[in-house]
Structure 1
């Protein structure tokens, strides 16, 4: 047998092993999700998990599953499954990120409106959400920021559980004449959906245009769209994704042309710890971009300068981040919420929820992604990005501070993990349809507060 024949046979055997591993991963994905819900039902029946009606989700099962209300979303999904792969492959590149953004936004809204015309903004009307905390900020934002840590116990649930930046963003939106939950919801959805474009740009810079085009349909139709409308964590996703995209763009340039996007990327990335304390592990993704793209010294200097702006500003205005962490953790321990949920259950069930957000196509590709990310000589950049996000999730999960409600908390991480779905070939459309079907099933069966 010739050397070429031996290589061909070895390649065929390797693809067969990878294919079997992918199907095993899908089976584990389905069994893990089923086991998480079954164990949650048992714990709730035994009185050991009383915080969530439908653990591991902070949601409840619908009394009547949605049927005809899902038809617009199902029709959009069918059209998108048919049209997105060829459009992403053939359009000029400059149109591809816009395609990803538009499709992701339309998908999130199509799913949300199945609950009714007002369902898109309704989650932000809850008394536990950020807009409800604006009244305490309005008289004097600077005084509110200086005393944020001292008065933390008197704030709404989500304000109490996060740094002050999310409320300040909504306050700035209000001062611009766009007050109310309607404009806030529009901001969250537009920003969260734009992350599909930002991630596509990053993948193109790190892994090439072909990889980016292959990822776009999966980014646009990801099951996590159920929580893009309307959880504030979708906004966090956008900030991290665009900060990373700007860093990736800077690596392709030199001099001031690199410094400008790197500085802007650093500014956005520096916002992450002030949006949510749990976003620190997300820095694994921009770190992976740095290792993959190796930007020049000017870009690194600008990135460092940009990273310091937001922490310096908040510190100068009276908010000391470590004190915020300590105060939030103290309120977390004495609250009736996450700290009372069983750690062992959520340690595993949180991973099952991550599977719901990323879908079966990602599960199928994960063994290949892990293998491609760890190759010594030729690691796949797209696989490295996905595995960096997975590592961030696992670190946060092990910490024990994310016991439940991770369907929104995982959103900034899960979008990067979806990139792995584009690594497997062939038959992109059936797996894209499986992604859409997962989102439709969750929306039809589960009533989420977000």
Structure 2
């Protein structure tokens, strides 16, 4: 099995690297106008929503030092630390990694993105009436909205994420820097949620093995101050609740955990139109935990969230078709599907790090291994979600952050890599993150 996993991992890595190289080379080689940024083509760097910019900053040295320390000690710590202490160390390391990468751009790396006119904060500061906001939400999605259309991120998502930032404003954390730090603090818990899920399903060795790849993922470049990282973390803890519920399905604690999972996943659906796809992962978690009796509990809790938004005036199923019209009225119609259908996956490979391709190969080679069942099923669910999202054609470009809710579950495949891959694989991931952060302006 070890030799077959090695060959499959190598094949997966090669395919991933070729995909990324093709996505970078094809547009200039064939003079394709792929429009990663409106009215700007020269100097951009497809498939990412950014452009080349060599830089260093106050976060450079901490990021490099953390990377070197991880290569020396991460694997040993993940293997030997008691579980709770491992979670604490993982959170601290993830927090430093996120902050260091963001601060390569200086303090602006934390405050700049959320302060953009296209983001949530500026609108959140003007919201005084939540009921009124929900009631007019759909009407202001189209470009032709009489009362003025929403900025792109608000129009492109249900109101759940906007309400999160409204809450930050109301509690005094609505400044660009303060909100950025809150997002970083939340995003740093995502690896803990995924590790907790895997452990609760009986996969503690896998959770420990994959911990360094989850904590020090290249996705941190795009997660540090991205609202999509909050969405991903909401999904992550929703899955963790479902997994924990499966350990004690007949107790009040288990039922409470199932309710918590349903509420979190229900709310996640109201932060992004793509997150109903996480139902595939939720079914995988419940199936692995053999806790089907808790599925109705979680579903009812999720529907309670939907009912609250509906009674408030926002109807998800009415909003989505309006968004589709706005989406195709905009730049998306100029972005060639012949490129973005596969280039989106290349952007995913850059965001997740190319080792994820090797992990997928190792997962494929391990599908008959009973000891790898938890990881194989969760990775298969993640692959299904990505395939469905890509087939929807509702995100041509700008996807390196949109993939964040799915990336940690794909990364689980790295737990099945042969041992000789672990340190070189982690080095590849760390190098990817550092190169992307220091050589590109990523816009997120």
**TM-score higher than 0.5:** yes
2:405 corresponds to: 412
The residue number in structure 2 matching 1:147 is 136
Q: Which stretch of structure 1 is more off in the superposition, 178-187 or 266-275?
A: 178-187
Partner Cα separation in structure 2 for residue 221 and residue 322 of structure 1: 37
Higher relative helix content = 1
Q: Identify the residue that residue 24 of structure 1 maps to in structure 2.
A: 11
> Do structure 1's residue 280 and structure 2's residue 276 form an aligned pair?
yes
Q: CA deviation at 1:177?
A: 2.0
Q: Could you tell me which residue of structure 2 aligns to residue 105 of structure 1?
A: 95
Deviations along 1:276-335, one digit per CA (max 9) or x if unpaired, are 0011222221111111111162x3343122111210100011111111101111111112
Tell me what 1:7 maps to: none
Matched, 1:94 2:94: no
2:115–2:121 contact (8 Å) kept in structure 1: yes
Q: Which residues of 2 match residues 269-418 of structure 1 at below 5 A?
A: 269-295=265-291, 297=293, 299-335=294-330, 337-373=331-367, 375=368, 380-418=373-411
1:263 alignment partner in structure 2: 259
Contact kept, 8 Å, 2:362 with 2:414, in 1: the verdict is no
Of the three residues 215, 224, 235, the one matched with 1:220 is 215
1:163-178 equivalent positions in 2, closer than 5 A? 163-178=158-173
Structure 2 equivalent of residue 436 of structure 1: 430
For the residues of structure 2 that align with 1:402 and 1:447, how far apart are their CA atoms? 20
Return the offset for 1:351.
1.0
The 3-state SS of whatever aligns with 2:274 is helix
Structure 2 residue 47 is matched with structure 1 residue 61: no
Work out the number of aligned pairs and report it: 431
SS at match of 1:386: helix
Aligned residues of 1:339 and 1:401 also touching (Cα < 8 A)? no
How many angstroms apart in 2 are the aligned matches of 1:339 and 1:408?
20
Q: What is the CA–CA distance in structure 2 between the aligned matches of 1:331 and 1:226, rounded to whole Å?
A: 29
Please give the alpha-carbon distance, in whole angstroms, between the structure 2 residues aligned to 1:300 and 1:348: 35
1:72 aligns with 2:65: no
- Equivalent pair of 1:207/1:382 in contact (CA under 8 Å): no
Cα deviation, 1:184-207, whole Å, max 9, x if unaligned, reads 212211111201000000011124
C-alpha distance 176-353 of structure 1, shift in aligned 2 (>3 A):
same
Contact kept in structure 1, 2:71 and 2:427, CA below 8 Å = yes
Residue 115 in structure 1 maps to residue 105 in structure 2 = yes
SS in structure 1 of the partner of residue 174 of structure 2 = coil
- Could you tell which deviates more after superposition, 24-33 or 399-408? 24-33
Separation of aligned partners in 1, 2:81 and 2:132:
51
Q: CA deviation at 1:98?
A: 2.3
Q: Is the 8 A contact 1:243 1:265 kept in 2?
A: yes
Query: What residue number does 1:9 align with?
Result: none
Instruction: Report the Cα offset of residue 358 of structure 1.
Output: 2.1
CA positional deviation for 1:435: 0.9
For 1:287 and 1:69, the matched residues in 2 are separated by 40
Which sections of structure 1, spanning at least 5 residues, go unmatched?
1-13
Q: Distance in 2 between matches of 1:390 and 1:352?
A: 14
Cα deviation per residue 1:322-361 (whole Å; 9 max; x = unaligned)?
A: 11101111111112x2232111201111111111122233
**What do residues 217-271 of structure 1 show as CA deviations (whole Å, max 9, x unaligned)?**
1111111010111111000000000000000000001321211111011000001
**Unmatched segments (≥5 aa) in structure 2:** 143-148
TM-fit CA distance, 1:211: 1.3
Contact preservation (8 Å) 1:360, 1:431: no
| SS of equivalent to 1:129 | coil
Which runs of 4 or more aligned residues in structure 1 lie more than 6 Å from their structure 2 counterparts after TM superposition? none
Whole-angstrom CA distance in 2 between matches of 1:117 and 1:170: 20
Given the two structures, how large is their TM-score scaled by the length of structure 1? Answer: 0.91
What does residue 4 of structure 1 align with?
Answer: none
Q: C-alpha separation between the residues in 2 aligned to 1:150 and 1:83?
A: 54
Cα distance in 2, alignment partners of residues 92 and 446 from structure 1: 38
Give the distance between the partners of 2:355 and 2:25, measured in 1 at CA.
23
Contact 1:266 1:304 in 2 (8 A): yes
RMSD: 1.9
Shift of 1:42: 4.0
